[in-house]
Each structure stands twice: as structure tokens, then as C-alpha cells.
Amino acid sequence: MSKSSALVTGASRGIGRGIAVELARAGYRVAINYAGNLEAANEALGLVRAAGGDGFIVQGDVAVAADRDRLVTETLAHFGRIDLLVNNAGVGPKVRADLLESGEESFDRLFSINLKGPFFLTQQVARKMIEQAPDARGFRGRVVNITSISAYTASINRGDYCMVKSGLSMMTKLFAERLAPHGINVNEVRPGVIATDLTSGVKAKYDKLIIQDERGITPIRRWGTPEDVALAVRALAEDRFPFSTGAAFDVDGGFGFFRL
Ligand code: NAP
């Protein structure tokens, strides 16, 4: 049987890179999408190969329709099918601006990259998955969306980010319902505070909140890592949750429950 194949958006750095490597360890062939950082993408490909996997890199801005077409076309050209789509690519606001001050440019950028891109990419890949034959386990495909604790946590200095992550959470449920009759499970992995380039600018703030404060914001008192998130994605990719769809899997050190 040929190896399963995955398209991971934003796989050149951070969480996406971690996911690509973990999927390679699980025997997946991986299409490593990146936006502009060719060097990082090549590094990620090197790590995928070192993990015993295979793959290729593909440039593309998920916010741009022609680029999304290319991601799908190239992945199919290399692998013949797409067993797993991981919508990971995402950006934060360039400036964390108060809700009463934040501008349209940031709003449009975040909605385009973090929500419009994943929506139309999923639509396109889902059509292909529906056409392809089921694999040995009866799955025509799986989709995993990387959302955030910001899907349900209000941060008034990046409201745009919270709104798109909340939208991505709803998108998960919508596609889960639509694709269940086709044997395609769609789930959400919800990271907490993860050490990547995205959070490097706010390191001191979260060091204090997680580690230095008397009672940290997370019961597990450390930063999350890309590998933490990647292991959850791998479990979904390997069908460890065959009866779960539209579900949110928290990878957040326990951030998300009430404490007293
Ligand atoms: P990161 O380290 O900044 O990496 C972002 C990745 O996305 C890079 O590979 C980048 O490619 C790619 N990318 C950016 N814009 C893109 C676009 N328009 N089209 C295609 N790819 C694009 O970010 P991260 O922390 O790993 O975050 C990954 C995902 O996890 C995001 O959706 C983020 O919202 C989510 N998340 C992160 C955290 C956290 O604490 N870090 C927490 C919760 C959720 P280049 O290398 O080419 O720039």
C-alpha cells in the first residue's frame, strides 16, 4: 500500500514544521507549504527526510486563490492523493492594538490568511478527497485545523486574531458536518502558549504569566512546544480518534478550565 500523504500549510517554521516532522515519523509524505522563507522551508524538508520521511516544499500564500490552486495541484502531482490537510498557516497582528484603535488593514490581513485561506483551501481539498477512494481504514481523508485558545479567550489587544480563531473553530464544525457522510473527519487542535517565532516578541510577558507568577496561568508550568501540538495532530492523522469529528483537542497545559 502506498504511503499516506499530507499537505501542511505554514510548515517551514514553528508548529507547522513540528507537525511535518512528526507526520514524517508516522510514515506520511509531506507537502511543506511556506509563504516566503525558502531557507526555513528547505530546513524543514531536511528534518522531514532525517525523520525517515519524504516530501517537497511548495511556496504559496494561503490568502491567494491562485496560490491555493498551486498547493493542491502540486501535492496531487507529487503524491496522487491528499489523505490529510493541516490548516496551520497563520499570523498574528503586526501590532497588538487596543480594540478601540485597531485598523481595517490588520483585520483584512488576519481574516484573509487565517480564515478565508483555510476555508477555501479546505473546500478545494475536500472536493478532491470526496473523489478519491477510501484508504484501508475506510477514510477518504482527514482535516485538522490549528486554532488557538484565542478561539474562546477574549484578548482586547488582538481582537481580530481572536475573531478569526473563533471563526476557524466554527469552520471545523461546518466541514465536520458536511463531510461526515463521505468518511472525512474534521477536527481542531487548539494550542495554548507555544514557543515559536510568533510568540518570541512576547516572551518576557509569558515567562512571567506561566513561570514566575505565584500561580501560573497554566497548571502545567512551562511553554508548549511545536512537538506537543504535533503529537496531537499525529494521533488524529493515525486515526486514534475514529469516532471524533468537529471536536476540539486542547494542547494548552491546562489553560482552558476554571480554577479557584
Ligand atoms: P510561526 O512560527 O510564525 O510560523 C508561521 C508559519 O506560517 C511559517 O511557516 C510561515 O511561512 C507560514 N505562513 C505565514 N503566512 C502565511 C501565508 N499567508 N500563507 C502560507 N503560509 C504562511 O507561527 P506558529 O507559532 O508556528 O503558528 C502556527 C499556527 O499556530 C498559526 O495558525 C497560529 O495562529 C497557531 N497558534 C500558535 C500559537 C503560539 O503560541 N505560537 C498558539 C495558538 C495557535 P514562512 O516561514 O515562509 O514565513
What pLDDT is stored for residue 47 in this prediction?
98
Are the CB atoms for 149 and 161 separated by under 8 Å?
no
What pLDDT is stored for residue 193 in this prediction?
98
Cβ neighbours for 238, distance < 8 A, ≥ 6 positions apart: 26
Q: Which three cell numbers stand for residue 19?
A: 507537525
In a domain, 26, yes or no: yes
In a domain, 139, yes or no: yes
Q: Whose CA is nearest to atom 41 of ligand 1?
A: 194
Structural domain tally of the chain?
1
Provide the whole-model pTM. 0.98
What pLDDT is stored for residue 258 in this prediction?
96
In a domain, 124, yes or no: yes
Ligand 1 site, residue 185, Cβ cutoff 6 A: no
What pLDDT is stored for residue 135 in this prediction?
82
Q: How far, in Å, from the CA of 60 to the mean position of ligand 1? A: 13
In a domain, 259, yes or no: no
Active-site residue set? 161
Ligand 1 site, residue 64, Cβ cutoff 6 A: no
What pLDDT is stored for residue 138 in this prediction?
78
What pLDDT is stored for residue 1 in this prediction?
52
In a domain, 145, yes or no: yes
Write out the residue range of the structural domain in which residue 122 sits. Answer: 5-250
* Residue pLDDT, tens place only, 37-86: 999 999 999 999 999 999 999 999 999 999 999 999 999 999 999 999 99
In a domain, 258, yes or no: no
In a domain, 178, yes or no: yes
What pLDDT is stored for residue 17 in this prediction?
98
Which atom of ligand 1 approaches the CA of 14 most closely? 26
CATH label of the domain that carries residue 210: 3.40.50.720
Q: What is the pLDDT along the chain (260 residues), one digit of tens a residue?
A: 568 999 999 999 999 999 999 999 999 999 999 999 999 999 999 999 999 999 999 999 999 999 999 999 999 999 999 999 999 999 999 999 999 999 999 999 999 999 999 999 999 999 999 999 988 777 889 999 999 999 999 999 999 999 999 999 999 999 999 999 999 999 999 999 999 999 999 999 999 999 999 999 999 999 999 999 999 999 999 999 999 999 999 999 999 999 99
Ligand 1 pocket mutation, candidates 17, 196, 206, 225, criterion most atoms within 8 A of CB: 196
The sheet carrying 5-8 orders its strands as: 54-59, 29-34, 5-8, 84-87, 141-146, 184-191, 248-251
In a domain, 86, yes or no: yes
Ligand 1 site, residue 35, Cβ cutoff 6 A: yes
